[in-house]
Amino acid sequence: MLNSIVIKLKHTTFLLLTLLLIISGCNSISYNEPKVSLDKYQIEEGFKLQAIASEPFIEAPVSMDFDNDGRIWVVEMKGYMQNLEGTGQEMPNGTITILEDLDNDGITDHSKVFIDSLILPRAIAHVYGGLLYAEPPNLWFVNIKNDKPVNRVLVDSLYSDGGNVEHQPNGLMMHIDNWIYSAKSNFRYQIKNGKWVKEPTSFRGQWGITKDNFGRLYYNNNSTQLIGDYILPNVSIKNPYYKPNAALNNILTPDQRVYSLHATSVNRGYQKGVLDKDSLLVNVTSACGPMVYRGDQFSKAYYENAFVCAPEANLVKRNILTIKGNKVTAKQAIDNKEFIASTDEGFRPVNLFNGPDGNMYIVDMHRGIIQDKAFLTPYLQKHYANKKLDTIIGMGRILKVSNEESSSNEIIEIEKLNTKKVVDLLYSTNGWLRDRAQQLLVFRKNKSATPLLKIVATDKTNPIAQIHAMHTLNGLDTLNYKLLEGILSSNSESDVISHALVLIEQFAFIDNLDSISNLINNLLLKNDEEIDLYTATALGKWIQVSTEKFFPLILKLSNKYKNNKAYQEAIVNSLRGVENEFLIFSNLVKEDLSETILLELLNETLENKKKDLKNFIYTKTSVGTDSRTAGFKLFRNICATCHGVDGDGIDGLAPPLKNSEYVKGSTEKLALIILHGLSGPIHVNGKLYDMNVVMPGLANNPDFTDKDLQDIISYINNAFTNKSENISIEEIKLLRDKKPDNGSTFSEKELLELK
């Protein structure tokens, strides 16, 4: 009997254990995560590189952003250069995708589409509780409900109107001043009183935009790895009739060298100085996606370093920023060595981002072709084809760079924090968390945070937190003169005082005149170059209230920095609208301004005002289209029907343009053919084409302007020859009258006889 009970108990225990294992197995979900080899990648000592997302979950990513839960959202530009002919770019196959890590091991195991059917989408930003995204030519904003877009609003129908896929606005970065900035754009955006506001800003860069902790903006263009402003955005451009340049758009990296690990395929690699004797790229040709590191997981030596993508050379550069006085410079961190370099020619880093965990994230488009058709030369097209780089397609990676010694970093779910804890994040050593905390407080219109923010704004132990707190209060419309007055009269750091000077200008009222006058006179006694510069930029509205009090201060600043153009431009910025009055004042006090930079700038401003010539940022409405892109579109619509998109010609219709002597030769003859047409037979590359087809000229077609013809010639010269020769509008006008003998179309004989 006892033995029978024991057997039954053992059997029951076995069944229970089996059941528990089954249940346990159901709860332990195993995902088939793709494995990506990074054996061909080298990274600076002390760091590790990890592929945290890859195909099949993403394809052709060009930008990304984190939501408040720490999830990555990716912009997929799938239509970009799917082949050497550049066909299919108008297909609505682009997406914005949410990447998910359901088993919490740090690797993407699921993805879901947030928005699909987009044509060449290029940028996103999580702002105002929703998503801002760019799909040329539009800038859209949508709310998010259950990971789906709702309530779509058109923010700007001209955001990226015109231009080329490589030369259209992008970036969409919310800044510390509560404005959203873009690269390749002269506009910034903000929601104010429930409505989207668009206003001019300085034109910046080409692809990618970033900032340092103070708030200076950094960007670049293809051939210059890092460009930047010495001064905060929009503080020095308030005089519409003067375009400042001393403190804006400065080249920070005098050395554009790259150190790739293998021979590089780039446009016009045949030109002297592009490649060295070993076919290694000498200087950057596709610099993009800069990022100032503002995280807290790298060592102190990397704090506010500037990282730059060089996708053409399959590498990421690192530069050390030096901020001295009112100038910024950048220098290669380690001689002859890059932060990341690879022999994988599919590695195409195009954007870099700080993460909520304090690490750095790389958007790797992972494409063989990264040159748009409008700019693709025969030289590079041949290299792509020989290396079969056009077969590297349908891929994409997000790479994470972290400290080799650090373990997985926990991401704070900021949405779940109460007001005090969100305010406390302004003290964080991680710039991403500070930025997002500020955004969240402003979006929530959380005015109950005001007392807490005022404490932070006056806490001199943490200047960065002070700056964030001031701008958060400003975004909540709870910033007041008294608070800023206290900060300016305290012994705060110059960075904090500079921001306070920028913010206090909005309180330029008669009641505050005596106070601000005393404050500024005391600040000038500090002899601090940074404070003096921001004083010079921030007096504009105060001058409008009282020239009597502030003209003497302006004169004092001008004399103090007589030979420094940046300060004189800042003064012209503040003298907007009262330039003549200031010149009269200077004569009255017997101040000789002759042969000074200030007088030169004021005269230039007054002359511009007389002619109504404004700084272009106040008149330019779109990026415009470059000649080669415009030419490509015209060629594709007119010429490709017979000559083929790739210029190889079509049997029975037209001979090839590639390597044709009529294209490689005289640009004038090419223009004559396009203007007046050509009838066969004709020899191209030694082969006779006796087609019973006449190519009509465009000279008498009213739909095509001289500029259109110039653009077509520019594209053909670039796409089908190794020359970049152009022709002027004036030459085209003259050639309109140089007609063939028969008054109709040219023959081969006539063309050959032309000199």
Q: Tell me what pLDDT residue 523 has.
A: 96
pLDDT tens-digit readout, 178-229: 999 999 999 999 999 999 999 999 999 999 999 999 999 999 999 999 999 9
Token pair belonging to 532: 């003096």
Mean pLDDT of all residues in 476-485: 98
- pLDDT classification of 8: cutoffs 50, 70, 90: very low
Mean pLDDT of 268-281: 90
Please give the share of the chain, as a percent, with pLDDT higher than 70: 94
- The pLDDT confidence band at residue 9, using thresholds 50, 70 and 90, is very low
Fold of 627-753: Cytochrome Bc1 Complex; Chain D, domain 2 (1.10.760)
Superfamily of domain 41-237+249-402: TolB, C-terminal domain (2.120.10.30)
- Which of 26-35, 60-69, 640-649, 721-730 shows the lowest mean pLDDT across its residues? 26-35
* 267 token code pair: 């446009």
pLDDT reported for residue 23: 42
Average pLDDT over residues 442-447: 94
Q: What's the CATH number of domain 418-615, 1.25.10.10, 3.10.129.10, 1.20.1440.230, 3.30.70.240?
A: 1.25.10.10
Phi, psi of 557 (to 5 degrees): -65, -40
- The answer on pLDDT for 19 being more than 60 is no
With 0-12 CB in 10 A as exposed, 13-18 as middle and 19+ as buried, what is 510?
Answer: exposed
Rounded Cα–Cα distance for residues 560 and 532 (Å): 9
Please give the span between the terminal C-alpha atoms of the chain, in angstroms, as a whole number.
120
Cα(262)–Cα(279) distance, integer angstroms: 8
pLDDT band at 572 (very low <50, low <70, confident <90, very high): very high
Residue boundaries of the structural domains of the chain: 41-237+249-402, 418-615, 627-753
Residue 640 reports pLDDT greater than 80: no
Work out the mean pLDDT of the chain and round it to a whole number.
90
Q: What pLDDT band is residue 22 in, cutting at 50, 70 and 90?
A: very low
Could you read off the pLDDT of 658-687 as tens digits, one per residue? 878 888 888 888 888 888 888 878 888 888
pLDDT of 189: 98
Percent of residues, the chain, with pLDDT higher than 90: 70
pLDDT over threshold 60, residue 716:
yes
Query: Which pLDDT band, with edges at 50, 70 and 90, does 24 fall under?
Result: very low
Question: Two tokens at 312?
Answer: 């053409």
Common-topology check for domains 418-615 and 627-753: no
- Indicate if the pLDDT at residue 3 is higher than 60: no
Does residue 114 surpass a pLDDT of 70? Answer: yes
472: which residues sit within 8 A by CB, 6+ positions away? 426, 438, 441, 442, 449, 453
Integer Cα distance of 638 and 658 in angstroms: 17
Q: Which two tokens stand for residue 164?
A: 């080329």
Residue 726 confidence class, pLDDT cut points 50, 70, 90: confident
Q: Distance between CA atoms of 315 and 305, rounded to whole angstroms?
A: 16
Nearest to 289 by CA among 395, 203, 206: 206
Residues in Cβ contact with 645 at an 8 Å cutoff, skipping those fewer than 6 apart:
85, 86, 87, 636
Region class of 243: left (phi > 0), else alpha (psi between -120 and 50), else beta: beta
- The DSSP 8-state label assigned to residue 674 in this structure reads H
Res. 248: pLDDT tops 70:
yes
pLDDT confidence of residue 618: 92
pLDDT digits (tens, 9 = 90+) for 582-629: 999 999 999 999 999 999 999 999 999 999 999 999 998 777 777 778
Distance of CA 493 to the CA centre of its chain: 31
How far, in Å, CA of 62 to CA of 136, rounded?
Answer: 14
pLDDT for residue 724: 66
Residues contacting 559, CB < 8 A, separation 6+: none
Quick: pLDDT tens for 140-157: 999 999 999 999 999 999
The pLDDT value given to residue 709: 87
Asked if pLDDT for residue 533 goes beyond 50, the answer is yes
